[in-house]
Chains A and B, each alone.
Chain A
Amino acid sequence: MRAENILEVDGLQTWFHTRKGVIKAVDSVSFSLRPGEILGLVGESGSGKSITGLSILGLIDPPGRIVSGEVRYKGRNLVGLPEPEIRAIRGRNIAMIFQDPMMTLNPVLRIDTQMRWALAAHEQVDKNAARARSLEVLRLVGIAAPEERLGSYPHELSGGMRQRIAIAIAMLNKPDILIADEATTALDVTIQAQILSEMQNLCAATGTALIWITHDLSVVAGLADRVCVMYAGRIVEQGLVDDVLDRPMHHYTEGLIGSVPSMNARGKPLKQIAEITRSLFDLPSGCAFRNRCPKVIAGCSEPIPVLERNGHQFRCINPPVPAP
């Protein structure tokens, strides 16, 4: 373990054992995170990005299981820890924000009660201290008039406000790592911009590291320091945002970038990735992308090693020629 890393995910495999067969939702995923760093985890639905986030927190339910691999938080492996021990870490050291804040917030409890309980789950706090800390984080996420909001019920708040409360609750215990799973996908561009700028300030101010899970490449471009691109349970490419988005070394990443409307001339057909009905039960051997890839060569059906060039990692033996 490198000393500067706060989190290391190493060879993580989360498989779902179903009656129809085994789904390798997360297959040999490795990445690391430094304090204060923002890591974007990008992929389409079904690529395993959410399961990766849930695996870090030990939130995988049967038939899913972490088959092998390690998740090291400050050098300590979290995989296989007894539930009471992981509970002490979950929410305190590593917190998560979900897509739908209504799933996170209890609809029949006032915001102040929910925040007090989130604090009380990890330490003894009296009511006044809890209130003071709640007000502090509500201000941190940019909520105007936080005193009033503490007395509200979730249904009285707008979607953007609810998501901010969910982020505030995640920040209550000053976590070292925050995992946000499609946290702004359901929100308007204006609210999204507000929350993204709060997140940037938050990470810079508190040193909290952030894993931002999304399918939206342009959000990652504006927010993250590094990016991992996932396809069919594997990280097919990872590196600095500038390297990956400007000089993609995997045809999937290149295809994703090409299909963003702003990368195409207005009114002209968009570049698109070949469509096939995918099933996670029968992925192609070797590179899982090879039945949609425009540049397949003979070696693509063999297992693909992780190649590296100046810290930019990719799983492609015939990478797109980087633009000069």
Chain B
Amino acid sequence: MTETPILEGRNLSKAFLPPRSLAQTIARMLGASEGRRGVHAVSDVSLAVQKGEVLGLVGESGCGKSTLGRILSGVLSPSSGQVRYRGQTTQDMNAAERKAAALKIQMIFQNPYASLNPRIRVGNLIGEAPTVHGLIDRSERDDFLSEILQRVGLDPSYLDRFPHQLSGGQRQRIGIARALAVDPEVLVCDESVAALDVSSQAQILNLFMRLREELQLTYVFISHDLGVVYHVSDRVAIVYLGRVVEIAPTVELYGEPNHPYTRALLGQVTRLHDRRQKYTVIKGEMPSPLSPPTGCHFHPRCPMAMPRCKTETPVLREIGPGHLSSCHLNDQ
């Protein structure tokens, strides 16, 4: 990959710490080291997204995939590490560049019922951001909004409606239109089709793919649904307890999964062709991110765990072209 990635995260970590108690504040002022225990939602993740690519982020709930998406889109700032947009961090940019870069990465949220203000009409929901940021004039606002609505497959007459007058699929289209209104290059979609029925899900996925071609968009597609991710992604990263455990081109990852967690996850997928399926169950539940296991986070549930896995954290390294995995088994 010689080209500069459009969006890159380097050694990203995010910890959510509880607020300090009075005693802790005093201890800190007196120079004591801090012993606050928090959730390390993301630890030391590096990823790059090339222009025009769809990168899927897959993992169970609580694994940190949404936090990672929020850091990449700039909604959250990382505790450590850098986010680079076209090779530049926000420190490298001046104020105007920073503002422009922030608009180029937009997020689409999971729940179209919660992410739209119920008391604001569709026209204002979509039109507010481009007006505030000076992307459009008041005079051209109506034409602009009609065009955006048509682009996401809605009739311009919807501009005067309120969110409650729309179906789930239509609301999600409004969420997409709102993101598109500021002319972004990267869309971070956080479980954007999870709340929808199968038939609306198909429509929204088709819309994502059409927009990708029409506007040369890049996607970070966060989902727990392996079937959906297989369908839309070029590359897939598997996240477990805040770490990327495997990343590979989609067909390769699904065809030849390397990491035991990826293999287990793929064994859980319900498919239309499998009747009276016998599920291969991963033993145990995901450990609490408050006290993650030592070494490889997956070792308590891994069928192939070795003594080494308890003590030593495996490194994410290349095992094939573009295929990275973090498992000690690859050293043998």
Contacts and interface: CB of A to CB of B under 8 A. Distances in A.
A215 B209 CA distance: 24
A270 B231 contact: yes
A222 B274 CA distance: 6
A132 to B, nearest CB: 25
B268 A193 contact: yes
A77 interface: no
B272 A257 contact: yes
Nearest to A275: B203
A258 B230 CA distance: 16
Given A217-B198, A242-B275, A256-B199, A275 B169 contact: yes
Nearest to A252: B199
A318 interface: no
Contacts of B200: 275
A194 B270 CA distance: 12
Given A190-B265, A266-B250, A161 B201 contact: no
Interface string A186-218: 001111111011001000000000000001111
Contacts of A194: 279, 281-282
Contact of B230 (A160, A190, A261, A271): A261
Contacts of B199: 44, 255-256, 259, 272-273, 275
Interface in A213-240: 215-219, 221-223, 225
A245 interface: yes
Contacts of B275: 221-222, 241-242
B286 to A, nearest CB: 8
Nearest to B226: A189
B174 to A, nearest CB: 14
Contacts of B280: 193
Q: Which of B250, B273, B275, B278 has the most CB of A within 10 A?
A: B275
A219 B227 CA distance: 13
B251 interface: yes
Interface string A256-290: 11011111101101111101011000000000000
B47 interface: no
B285 interface: yes
Contacts of B104: none
B288 to A, nearest CB: 8
B285 A221 contact: no
A266 B251 contact: yes
Given A215-B198, A275-B203, A262 B60 contact: no
B125 to A, nearest CB: 19
Interface residues on B, range: 35 or more
A301 interface: no
A269 B272 contact: no
A18 interface: no
Interface of B: 60-61, 167-170, 197-203, 205-206, 209-210, 224-228, 230-232, 250-251, 264-265, 267-282, 284-286
30 contacts: A158-B286, A189-B224, A189-B265, A191-B60, A191-B285, A193-B280, A193-B282, A194-B282, A196-B277, A197-B281, A215-B197, A216-B270, A217-B198, A217-B272, A218-B271, A222-B274, A225-B276, A255-B199, A259-B199, A260-B198, A260-B272, A262-B227, A262-B230, A262-B272, A266-B250, A267-B232, A270-B205, A272-B202, A275-B169, A275-B203
The 4 closest A-B pairs by CB, nearest first: A222-B277, A259-B202, A261-B231, A193-B279
Interface of A: 44-45, 144, 158-161, 188-194, 196-197, 200, 215-219, 221-223, 225, 241-242, 245, 255-257, 259-264, 266-267, 269-273, 275, 277-278
